[in-house]
């Protein structure tokens, strides 16, 4: 296994998260060569130089295209706003680089398809940043489902709520622009869809509603601008397996900071999980006497791998950035042709297709099959 040369585009929230993952993956796992942090790109050379020094990159540039022809770079992390993903990811793949791109793939489905096709042509690894599937809790829930611990699953409910857009006086910014996507549905609704796909498979058909709690938002000059997408979305869906479900997303939910609540109901029990309490889950099974039945809380511990790579003691807990380190290790495995727990561009198209089916359902006020969003 060779040491990978890394290029990073973007240094915001997720850019820093990627940088931390590349810096820490060898220290945590110990079984991969330390990545070489080659070049960091930002919108201008001054900011790029500052962040390169902070993140540990050897070089910096104010032009992201400088990364494409650099023979020292094997993987490019794309952590820019959504609208820039297609151009950057496609260019990187065409240049023969592996790509680690944050979600969603693109605001337009046609652009997401172009990204998938570029990945097909290149033969390179193209991974989407769905780090929540890396949580040892989610991995263990998937194992329990495969073992039939709660019987045959018949219904799931997933909610994702945050309050970073809950204040009606918050200044308008790019996440309220139509160019960034539909709003809560694809801004972060794709995260619960990634969990649904990871645990059960893709969505088959949907009916959706979306709302704007605040139709306008203030600008810095004292005027107001129309909000161009929707901060709340509610969806009924049915999976390809026939399981029924509900998906609810809200970017303006006061008090919710990083909630992804998953409820799974089966013929012999239930499983509950909430990302705000990401190091535990609740399990209810009917295999005990009725007077002893009840939800029990399971805390993560070293036997919930790869928790053991971070902490030797149970109950101490992992964090958001740790999930990105795990995702980074899975990406490295994929570049070596090994089996990896990732969501590729190829698989990610199914999530994008679901999102666009939901948006069409809202527009046309009817059930939409995912297959109606064709290639």
Using alpha carbons, list the distances in angstroms from residue 370 to 210, 220, 332, 344.
Answer: 18, 40, 32, 19
Residue with tokens 């893709």: 202
pLDDT of residue 374: 87
pLDDT of residue 1: 84
Question: What is the overall mean pLDDT for the chain?
Answer: 97
Domains detected in the chain = 5-131 (3.40.50.720), 135-314+344-364 (3.30.360.10)
Q: How many helices (H) and strands (E) does the chain have?
A: 9, 17
Specify whether the CB–CB gap between 181 and 237 falls below 8 A. no
In degrees rounded to 5, what are phi and psi of residue 362? -60, -40
d(CA 253, CA 246): 18
Each residue of 235-277: pLDDT tens digit? 999 999 999 999 999 999 999 999 999 999 999 999 999 999 9
Task: Spell out, as residue ranges, where the chain has pLDDT lower than 70.
Answer: none
7 is written with which tokens? 């290029």
pLDDT of residue 228: 97
Cβ burial, residue 361 (10 Å; 0-12/13-18/19+): buried
pLDDT of residue 98: 98
């Amino acid at each position: 296994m060779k040491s990978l040369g890394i290029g990073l585009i973007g240094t915001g929230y997720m850019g820093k998260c990627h940088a931390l993952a590349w810096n820490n993956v060898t220290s945590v796992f110990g079984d991969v060569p330390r990545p070489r942090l080659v070049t960091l790109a930002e919108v201008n050379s001054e900011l790029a130089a500052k962040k390169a020094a902070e993140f540990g990159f050897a070089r910096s540039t104010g032009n992201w295209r400088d990364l494409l022809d650099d023979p020292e770079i094997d993987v490019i992390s794309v952590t820019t706003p959504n609208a820039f993903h297609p151009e950057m990811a496609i260019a990187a793949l065409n240049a023969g680089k592996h790509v680690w791109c944050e979600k969603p793939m693109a605001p337009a489905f046609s652009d997401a398809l172009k990204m998938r096709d570029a990945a097909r042509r290149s033969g390179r690894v193209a991974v989407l940043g769905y780090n929540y599937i890396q949580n040892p809790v989610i991995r263990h829930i998937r194992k329990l489902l495969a073992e039939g611990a709660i019987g045959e699953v018949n219904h799931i409910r997933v909610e994702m709520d945050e309050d970073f857009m809950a204040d009606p006086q918050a200044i308008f910014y790019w996440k309220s622009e139509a160019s960034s996507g539909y709003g809560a549905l694809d801004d972060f609704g794709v995260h619960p869809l990634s969990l649904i796909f990871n645990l059960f498979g893709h969505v088959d058909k949907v009916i959706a509603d979306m709302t704007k709690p605040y139709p306008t938002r203030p600008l810095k000059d004292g005027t107001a601008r129309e909000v161009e997408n929707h901060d709340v979305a509610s969806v009924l869906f049915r999976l390809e397996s026939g399981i029924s479900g509900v998906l609810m997303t809200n970017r303006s939910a006061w008090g919710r900071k990083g909630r992804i609540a998953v409820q799974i109901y089966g013929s012999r029990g239930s499983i509950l999980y909430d990302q705000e309490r990401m190091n535990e889950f609740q399990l209810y099974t009917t295999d005990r006497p009725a007077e002893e039945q009840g939800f029990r809380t399971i805390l993560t511990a070293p036997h919930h791998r790869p928790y053991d790579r971070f902490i030797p003691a149970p109950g101490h807990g992992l964090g958001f950035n740790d999930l990105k380190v795990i995702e980074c290790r899975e990406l490295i495995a994929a570049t070596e042709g090994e089996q990896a727990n990732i969501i590729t561009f190829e698989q990610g198209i199914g999530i994008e297709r679901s999102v666009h089916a939901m948006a069409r359902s809202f527009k046309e006020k009817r059930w939409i099959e995912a297959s109606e969003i064709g290639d």
